[in-house]
Every structure is written in structure tokens, then in C-alpha cells.
Structure 1
Amino acid sequence: MRRRSTSLALGIMLGLAGTANAQSLGAGLSQNLAGAAALPLDASTLPAPSVRNGQDIFASFREGLAEPTCDAEATSPRWQKQFAHAPARLANQNDDALVLFGYVVEELRKASLPTEFALIPFVESGYRPSARSAAGPAGLWQFIATTARNHRVPMSEGYDGRLSAVDSTQAAVRYLKTLHGMFGGDWRLATMAYNAGEYRVLQGLRKAGMNATNAVPAELPGLSPVTHAYVEKLHALACVLENAEEQPSVMASLDRTVPVLKSHTLPAGTSVQQWAAQRSLDPARIARLNPAASGRGRPQSAPVRLLAPVNTPAVDASAMVASLDEAAMPAVAVASAQPAPAAARSVASAADRPRNRRHTVRNGESPWTIARRYGMPVKALLSLNGLSGKAVLKPGAVLRVED
């Protein structure tokens, strides 16, 4: 089912695809601003935040979508029903889905890719790094072994890099960046190519007399129903997450502090349990996030990459313990252990929200961020101002908002 072969031509394109400038998330710019707003800051010297609010992960995902508004007519009720559990997975404090989702969203935005691609692991593996299919694919992105090797995922006796969230995600981002450029920035065509192989999609375009700029993905000939359904699933899942904005219980559950994850080096001869214990992290959870490094057969003669919270010095890391294992410490204790960065602020309470009925758009603002500022659904903001979901807000424009 996962026929993602890579030819020499694609390998050459992969080598050319890594030159694009990464898009900053801006989250790090908010760190340490409290009490120093009047001082000139060099953004390059500010440390990246070690924690963030779950609602900010959700907001970053929504802001990065190529199609920010759900097209209900093009959405299959069948797939919406199948993925109806996704918001609850993200909201569940005992589930790793939210921290992994945040990591993938950030990697995609750094690569200037649509965050629709962050939904692929939901469809492929349910955001479980240890997922394996009887047909052969494995890991978050469900690569087959051949595709994994073609995309520089480490594979050796006793070590399966497909089960590494770091190795597999970086490979998937490289591959998707190539496909995104190959198909004119159309996330649907890129997704179809991810599922079926790029040459099948190119052949379908030729048969239909289309190209990447005028293609109608749903009408491409020669592709299996599985590939067409793949795109439908991602769109349905995006709609499910958009509708989650209208579920107060889900949004309230997302309003919690979670760790920012990054790649670390696990030294040769060191187990995941030892590494986690040295940093006062939950060994079971670190092992769960890193099944490739946790396997008993892992060769001990070479270091491997590990996905773990940003700040993990081999000293007392109580703040990171609190962030990683929230069930063991109330949220108020987490906040007292480390001042929350601006990027991790929760949605303002009704009493704190601005009361203006007009809002002047500032540089970098989107309908989602403005709606969130005023505590209103993004659909309501768009409707109130006669805007479509694809509207581009220009700085200086004045919008009506609800008070």
C-alpha cells in the first residue's frame, strides 16, 4: 500500500531541495520579553522556549494551513467519523500525540510547508512512533524499508530508524518538500505522490492533459481509489480539527503547558533509561517517544538521535519533569517552576479580552490569531467581515470584531 519509490532523478532533486530558507515560527522571539520590553533585543541570541501552550500548537497548525477553512461539500462524512477521535487524542494529557504533533508542525513550518502534511501521521500511524503494519511499513510516517533507505533513514541490524521520530520526520519533510516543489506547491498533488509515488501522479497529469498549475487532483486518471481517498482523509481530518474550535472542553484541555521537543544525541553505550534518569525525566515516556533507541537489539557502538524536551542538562531538571509528566504536578506548579513565555500564554479570560469592536490588522496577523485574541470563532470573524477562508489580511485593514 505504501509505494513510495525514489529514482536517481528524485535523488538529485532531493539534493537541490534543501536550499530554501526556513520559515521562523516566531515562538522563540517571545522568550524572556517580560520585564524587558524597553530593551533592544537581538532575536538570534534569545533561547528557544522549552515549553509552550497546547493551544499555541493548535494555533500554529491552523495558521500554516494552505486551506484554512474547511470545504464541507468536499468532505466525506465517512472520514470525518473515522477521525472524530483526533481532537480527544490531542486533548488527552496522558497521550503523546500533542507533543509529537507540535514537533511535526514546527518542522514543517521551518521548511515553509503547509501544515496539512502534519495530518499524515494521524492517517498513517495515529501519531504512534512504534506503529508497525503487517504489510511492512513502520513508524510515524509508515515508510517501507526501501523508501526509508532512499531518504537517508538509518537502517541497520538491530536499529530501525523508521521508529525514530527524529529520523523519520526529517526524511518525510525532505521528501514532502521535494514533492511540494515538483507539483507547483499543490499540497493535494504532493500528498497523492507521497502515497502512490511521484511518477504515477506525473503520468496521471500527462494522461489528463493537465499540469501542476491547472490540475484537478480528484479527476486524475490512473490512480487507485486508495490514493484519492488518502487526500479525502486529510481534508476530513483538517475539518475535524477546525470544528474542534467549537468544542469548549477540547480547547480547555489544550490549554496546558507541554514541552518543546528537539533532537538530542544518545551517546554510544548509554540506554534511554539511563539518559532520562540522569536528567530527571520519565524514562518510560522518553522510551515511548523513542522506540528505535529503546530496542534491546540496538547496537551500543554508535550514538543515535533521541527526541526529548529542549532543555535536558544532566542536572536537576525539575521544570522539565513537570512539563513532560503533567499528571505528577498541577499546572500552577509548572508555571511557578519556570515563567511561561509569551508564546505559551493561554487564551485570555473574558474579563481580560479587549473590548473594541474594531481591530486594525498588524503585520503577521491572521484571521485565526485575531479571532483568538477576541475570544470568538474564526468562522464568526470571517462571516462578520464578509471574508472567505482564503482571504489575505493586509496590515492596516480594519476588521469588525465581537466584544
Structure 2
Amino acid sequence: MTLPRRAHVPCLLAALMLTACTTPAVRSPDAGTPSPVSPTPSPAPSAVSTEPPAHGVQAAEAAGPSPGNGLAIYEDFRTGLAEPQCGNSQARWRKHFAHAPQRLGDPGTDTLLLFAHVVESLRAAGLPTEFALIPFVESGYAPGARSKAGPAGLWQFIAVTARGHGLRVEPGYDGRLSPAESTRAAVSYLKSLDDTFDGNWRLVAMAYNAGEYRVLQALRRSGGNISSATPESIKGLSPVTYAYVEKLHALACLLEESGERTQWRAGLDQPVPRLRAVPLENAKSLDAWTAKNDQDAKVLRRFNPALAGHWPSRGVPLALVPTGVQGDMSVAAATSARSGTDEADATAGSATHTVRKGDSAWSIARHYGVTTRRLLELNDLKANSVLRPGMVLRLQ
């Protein structure tokens, strides 16, 4: 029998009366201090299950393809916001994330394609699209991002949390670097938090950052009610946790307001491939699967860093495969166009890269599969060097 949403809460609160829990931490790149993503991972096999989940990525596929247009993706995001009103967003975080609208609409990045996949997955699960902004905060929407503190991937899971939510982290394969698998895990976790916190998206965001038990303990001490509680009414949590909510709200407001700019909307109004989560069956490598299924190996390596030269020891991995481009543009051509590369620059073996507007040493290094440190050394640059459009950088 399915319990009402509120029924989950007393059980958790009762458990809190008996014991406290320790929480593994994950570091958000712009927060500067550790923050837990999942304090209580339930036992789960280390292998990623290939059974269709009740919601999330596979449910999104069942709902049918999203319109292959960047503007339609953006409107889907706006429609799914729990709190589109922007009068109370904080100026500090608006300034901090002022680059986000430009990055989302920049054809030199894969951000819009990944954003579309996350929005579609959240909408299929009935979750607010504010949560599609979590990867902006955690990783800058870079599926191969790694932190020195240990977290990795689009959602910056730490290893113990990842395993607790069904992701495989083992020598030679890291499921956190699979946007398909990590998004499925993140949506599943957010769905469970949404049930626990009765649809209060702000408390869900706080719990994603600090852990549900920590937020429930603070709520109990503050004497609040879950459905009506606000972050300000809950005392005793880390400043990072309170700021986490404001970051998501500021990002939502920046994107909401960008939608009023004609030029920005026009930039989104173009064909966009749909990234579909596909189980790579009957293959032992990404290159082997792409050859058999008439796909571009370079494109798939870019969207699936977990499988770039790696393969899980058992089970069938999921991968994001671009499909559904309308008109005469092929998927490979569309994804190449969105990455801002020409034929010469698209190859990992290119000798040089010409800097474009919005490029950074990190994004260039990620694209060509070299370390940022190596890129800087090759070009006699320092970490704080400014890259200007037109500069030609050596890659080897």
C-alpha cells in the first residue's frame, strides 16, 4: 500500500529521536565547504541496474521525444518552475551566476543538450525544474568534472553516496561520470526527498545539500511544519545549506528574465539533438557499440566520459545518445555545431585550438582530453592568464 506523502515524515522523526546519523560530504565547486548530498545511502548492489525505474530517465523516454528546439526546451523549464516569482532573489548570487544564461545559450558548449535531458527527466518524475539548476551549482554542467575533495560528475556525488543510489564506482569505471546513470540516480533521490518533505522544493534542496536527516532534525528542534516551513524558520544548519536554496532561486530568476530578451530567445531558437538514455547492449566498448549502431564515437565520448576508454566489469551501462535532430542536419553535425568546433578542431588529435568567446583553459582541456595543467604548460600560461578570442593554443 502506498502511504500518503505526509506519512513518511513521522517515521523519520521518530527514528531521529533514537539516533543521529553521520553524513558523507560532497563539495560544491562554488560553495567552498563540504556539503552532504546523501547522508543515508541504503544498501544497493554496486552494479547499475538496467531495469526500468518507476520514474526518471526511462519514464522520460516513455513520454516521447521532446521538441527538437532549444526554445521549446527553455519553455519546458519555465513551465516546471515551482517558484517563478523573482522579487526575493539575492543580488549576491545573481551576480555570481550571471554567466549562466549566456552559457545555456552558447553554441560553444553542450550545456543546453545536457540541461534538456535533466529537465525532461525531472518533468517526467513530477519534480520542480529548479532542480535542473543543481548541476550548474555543483559542476557547471560538466559531466566529467572531478573535485580534489572526491566528488565527481554532473551531480558531484561522492563515492559512498553514488554506490548507495545504485551507481557503480570501481577501478576502471566510474558511474558518476555517466550523465545518464547519475541523472537517473539524482532524480530518484530527489523524488524520495520530495515525498519526505511534502513537495516543499526549498526543503528538498536543503536536504540534497545537507542530508534529509540533518534537515529533519533541525526542523524538529525549530518546531516547524514541513509543508509550510521556510529556510529562515529552520535554525542550526550550515550557512552553505541556506545559501544553496538561494543559489538555485537566483539561477531560476536569471533564466526567467533572460527569456524576456529577444536576442537571447532567438539564439535558442534552433534545432537541438535530444540526448536519449540508451542501454549499450551486446558491446564491450563504446567504440564497438558506436560502430555497430552507426553513431559518431567522438560525440558519444564527449557526452559519456565514464565510457571514454572504460567499461564496467559486468552489467549493461547506460549512455546518452544524441537523436532526433529535425531537418537536414545530422546528429553529428548538430552536436559539432553546438560545440563550436570545425572539422579540424573536432578531433582529439588536433595540434592547435583557436580561442573563441567564452572559452576557458578548463573547457578547452576537457574538450581535447588533456589536463588543464598540461595545456597551460604547453602555452607558457599561468592559472590566472586571460584567454582572448583569436589566440592559438598548442595542444601537444
TM-score (norm 2): 0.68
Distance of aligned partners of 1:282 and 1:10 in 2 relative to their CA distance in 1, 3 Å threshold:
closer
Counterpart for residue 152 of structure 1: 166
Report matched runs for 1:42-61 at 5 Å.
48-49=64-65, 52-61=68-77
Counterpart for residue 258 of structure 2: 244
- 1:52 alignment partner, SS class: coil
Q: Give the residue type in structure 1 aligned to 2:35.
A: R
Q: Give the residue type in structure 1 aligned to 2:36.
A: R
Counterpart for residue 2 of structure 1: 35
Distance of aligned partners of 1:121 and 1:20 in 2 relative to their CA distance in 1, 3 Å threshold:
closer
Separation of aligned partners in 1, 2:293 and 2:169: 28
Counterpart for residue 320 of structure 2: 307
Which of 59, 62, 75 is the matching residue for 2:78? Answer: 62
Counterpart for residue 325 of structure 1: 336
Distance of aligned partners of 1:50 and 1:80 in 2 relative to their CA distance in 1, 3 Å threshold:
closer
Separation of aligned partners in 1, 2:164 and 2:317: 19
Whether 1:183 and 2:197 are equivalent positions in the alignment is yes
- 2:330 alignment partner, SS class: helix
Q: Give the residue type in structure 2 aligned to 1:171.
A: A
Whether 1:161 and 2:175 are equivalent positions in the alignment is yes
Fraction of identical pairs, as percent: 49
Report matched runs for 1:131-142 at 5 Å.
131-142=145-156
Whether 1:108 and 2:96 are equivalent positions in the alignment is no
Deviation at 1:24, TM superposition (A): 8.7
Distance of aligned partners of 1:8 and 1:116 in 2 relative to their CA distance in 1, 3 Å threshold:
closer
- Superposed CA deviations along residues 125-166 of structure 1, whole A, max 9, x for unmatched, are 111100111111110100011110111112222110000001
Distance of aligned partners of 1:280 and 1:94 in 2 relative to their CA distance in 1, 3 Å threshold:
farther
- Superposed CA deviations along residues 298-356 of structure 1, whole A, max 9, x for unmatched, are 346653211112469xxxx9733343333699xxxxxxxxxxxxxxxxxxxxxxxxxxx
Deviation at 1:262, TM superposition (A): 1.1
Separation of aligned partners in 2, 1:288 and 1:215: 41
| Native 8 Å contact 1:22 1:112 kept in 2 | no
- 1:257 alignment partner, SS class: coil
| Native 8 Å contact 2:55 2:124 kept in 1 | no
Whether 1:207 and 2:218 are equivalent positions in the alignment is no
Separation of aligned partners in 2, 1:325 and 1:280: 16
- 1:246 alignment partner, SS class: coil
Separation of aligned partners in 1, 2:66 and 2:337: 15
- 1:127 alignment partner, SS class: coil
Q: Give the residue type in structure 1 aligned to 2:311.
A: R
Separation of aligned partners in 2, 1:20 and 1:105: 13
- Superposed CA deviations along residues 84-118 of structure 1, whole A, max 9, x for unmatched, are 11111111112110010000000000000000100
Gaps of 5+ in 1: 12-17, 29-43, 330-403
Separation of aligned partners in 1, 2:237 and 2:147: 22
Distance of aligned partners of 1:206 and 1:51 in 2 relative to their CA distance in 1, 3 Å threshold:
closer
Deviation at 1:242, TM superposition (A): 0.9
Q: Give the residue type in structure 2 aligned to 1:307.
A: L
Q: Give the residue type in structure 2 aligned to 1:54.
A: G
RMSD over equivalenced CA pairs, Å: 3.1
Gaps of 5+ in 2: 1-33, 45-52, 341-396
TM-score (norm 1): 0.67
